[in-house]
């Protein structure tokens, strides 16, 4: 039978014949991932089930990125627990301190995930790797513990929504705007336990980092996975990162889809997700001078080098508003070093930004940028739930790196062309 991307990738890892949506299949895992918040829970479950060792010490990754550098005693104890488990199990891919970055930027950069992989992680934004043509999805810590021990897990084969993007992007419209627009169209539950499969001429021209941004936010529409074909551009990216023998992966012609969307991006401007849900999306020009107290550029959604370049292009030679804290967090040490070498960090610092270490901190209201009551933030992160970044009485708006830089300068959410 003709298979969607999701079905085709699952088939490569299963002895079961992967057919209809809703079927339960067992699959071998290519990589199992957890972080400093979720790994301690997985370790506890791993112990309770009586497991003696992980299935493959090179196919488990533990990344301490959420509350690190450790913000308090509790977070230090969490990291200590993960570190001791990694040492006991002789896990090769343990990252903390100067080796650690935001997990979903770090693993692709290190060539640890790639086309046709099946990746499970104790973090909902594991779906990022769909930008590389991997079936990647988040799971609870108990399921991750079982996957660490067994090297396999089960899936319900998801239905697939195929999103065909046509037309030509405007200068200030980027992939973050596209995924926000899609989430606004279908809603936060529009892809519930379904795969979003992206295709079309816009996808063909989109670089791999932009694809990962879109795949990252599939979960904000309820998606099980966000999938891009692994084309020549993907293969080249993964080969340079050191991923062994990457190959192209495409859906079959004639595959059956739950739903098909066609979107013409021509003329689409920057999009903003307004409080307090990612599907409360409006064009930036429809917002009426929304003043902000903080801007955050970073996260697993938009902390890559291409994101920093976009923001630097807008803010170069300008100054951050005296009413705004502009926090810039490169997603990995390598991105930090590259941004330093390219002069991007100097641009941000001279503009009055705060440049910090690679961390997820402010995205989940952990540290490095907590909001007080009544404060507003424009962030390049992925969620804007009530209380997500601090006080329940604060507000979070989501936008692209271009909008973030423009907003930092203007002190209010604004189209990048207007600064």
**pLDDT interval class at 260 (50, 70, 90):** very high
The three-state (H, E, C) secondary structure of 353-383, written as one string:
CEECCCCCHHHHCCCCCCECCCCEEEECCCC
How many percent of the chain have pLDDT more than 90? 98
pLDDT digits (tens, 9 = 90+) for 204-227: 999 999 999 999 999 999 999 999
pLDDT at site 288: 85
Hey, CA dihedral for 158, 301, 340, 416, is it positive or negative? positive
Same domain, 363 and 390: yes
Same domain, 354 and 246: no
In this model, does residue 194 exceed pLDDT 90? yes
Same domain, 278 and 357: yes
Angle ∠(190,174,404) on CA atoms, nearest 5: 100
Same domain, 286 and 368: yes
* Token pair listed for 281: 């999306």
Instruction: Sort strands 281-283 and 354-355 into parallel, antiparallel or unpaired.
Output: unpaired
- What SS3 state is found at 61? strand
**pLDDT interval class at 68 (50, 70, 90):** confident
| Tokens 């992989």 -> residue | 117
pLDDT digits (tens, 9 = 90+) for 25-42: 999 999 999 999 999 999
pLDDT at site 69: 86
* Token pair listed for 174: 């980027």
In this model, does residue 397 exceed pLDDT 90? yes
CATH number of the domain residue 50 falls in: 3.30.499.10
pLDDT at site 19: 87
pLDDT at site 1: 86
Contacts of residue 383, Cβ cutoff 8 Å, sequence gap at least 6: 220, 278, 363, 364, 396, 398
Beta bridge partners of 291: 412
Residue 407 φ then ψ, to 5°: -65, -40
Q: What is the number of structural domains in the chain? A: 2
pLDDT digits (tens, 9 = 90+) for 105-120: 999 999 999 999 999 9
Hey, CA dihedral for 334, 335, 338, 339, is it positive or negative? negative
**pLDDT interval class at 4 (50, 70, 90):** very high
Classify each residue of 111-133 as buried b or exposed e, where b means 16 or more C-beta atoms within 10 Å of its C-beta: bbbbbbbbbbbbbbbbbbbbbbb
Q: Which domain holds residue 325?
A: 272-418
Same domain, 242 and 279: no
Same domain, 259 and 276: no
pLDDT at site 125: 97
């Amino acid at each position: 039978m003709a298979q969607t991307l999701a079905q085709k990738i699952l088939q490569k890892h299963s002895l079961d014949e992967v057919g209809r949506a809703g079927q339960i299949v067992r699959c071998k895992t290519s990589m199992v991932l957890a972080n400093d918040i979720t790994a301690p829970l997985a370790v506890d479950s791993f112990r309770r089930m009586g497991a003696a060792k992980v299935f493959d010490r090179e196919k488990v990754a533990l990344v301490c990125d959420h509350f690190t550098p450790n913000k308090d005693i509790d977070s230090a104890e969490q990291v200590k627990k993960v570190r001791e488990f990694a040492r006991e199990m002789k896990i090769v891919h343990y990252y903390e301190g100067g080796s650690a970055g935001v997990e979903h930027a770090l693993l692709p950069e290190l060539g640890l995930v790639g086309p046709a992989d099946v990746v499970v992680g104790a973090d909902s934004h594991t779906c990022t790797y769909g930008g590389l043509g991997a079936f990647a999805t988040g799971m609870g810590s108990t399921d991750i513990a079982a996957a660490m021990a067994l090297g396999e897990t089960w899936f319900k084969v998801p239905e697939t929504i195929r999103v065909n993007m046509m037309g030509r992007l405007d200068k200030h419209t980027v992939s973050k705007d596209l995924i926000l627009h899609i989430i606004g169209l279908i809603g936060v539950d529009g892809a519930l336990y379904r795969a979003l499969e992206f295709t079309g001429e816009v996808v063909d021209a989109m670089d791999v980092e932009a694809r990962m941004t879109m795949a990252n936010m599939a979960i904000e529409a309820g998606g099980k996975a966000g999938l891009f074909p692994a084309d020549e551009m993907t293969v080249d990216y993964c080969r340079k990162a050191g991923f062994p023998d990457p190959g192209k992966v495409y859906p079959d012609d004639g595959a059956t889809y739950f739903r098909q969307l066609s979107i013409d991006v021509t003329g689409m401007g920057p999009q903003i997700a307004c409080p307090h849900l990612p599907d409360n999306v409006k064009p930036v020009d429809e917002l009426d001078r929304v003043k902000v107290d903080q801007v955050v550029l970073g996260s697993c959604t938009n902390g890559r080098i291409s994101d920093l370049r976009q923001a630097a292009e807008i803010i170069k030679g300008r100054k951050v508003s005296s009413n705004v804290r502009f926090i810039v967090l490169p997603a990995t040490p390598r991105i930090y070093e590259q941004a330093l070498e390219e002069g991007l960090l100097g641009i941000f610092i001279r503009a009055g930004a705060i440049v910090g270490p690679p961390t997820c901190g402010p995205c989940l209201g952990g540290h490095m940028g907590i909001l007080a009551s009544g404060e507003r933030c424009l962030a390049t992160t992925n969620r804007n739930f009530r209380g997500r970044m601090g006080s329940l009485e604060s507000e979070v708006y989501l936008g692209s790196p271009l909008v973030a830089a423009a907003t930092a300068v203007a002190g209010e959410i604004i189209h990048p062309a207007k600064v």
